[in-house]
Structure 1
Amino acid sequence: MVRRFAGHGLFTALGDEPNWGKAQWILLPATSQNTMRGYFDMIVAVCEQLVGATNGPITPMSPSFR
């Protein structure tokens, strides 16, 4: 569906297309597990700001993997 307006690119490449290999080479380092760990504190800070912007209480949550 996205390909209809975005065309063939890094985020829309299918596994059998040349752009898929390029996408993996470019995007994989930015989305690795170690890199995502580095983003964690920033993500939490932004989430806290968003929750605060709704004037709702910030309550601790436990992640659920169900």
Structure 2
Amino acid sequence: MRRTSTDFAQHYNFVINPARGYAPQDKALVENAVNLAYQRIYYPLREISFSSLEDLNREIKRFLGGGH
């Protein structure tokens, strides 16, 4: 993995997990996960304005089930 990618991942505190080469067996799984994220997070929030990133993150966390 390139150093810039590693630095980027460390800065934003996430892991880069590349797909397997030459046989995108996970493509449908990833596309379904993106579709679910749109349905469960983006669509319900798309017309709401947030005054801060913290407010947005709090609402996303609630949709993910972590806002109890």
What TM-score comes out, normalization by structure 2 length? 0.33
Greater length-normalized contact order (CA 8 Å, ≥ 6 residues apart): 2
What TM-score comes out, normalization by structure 1 length? 0.34
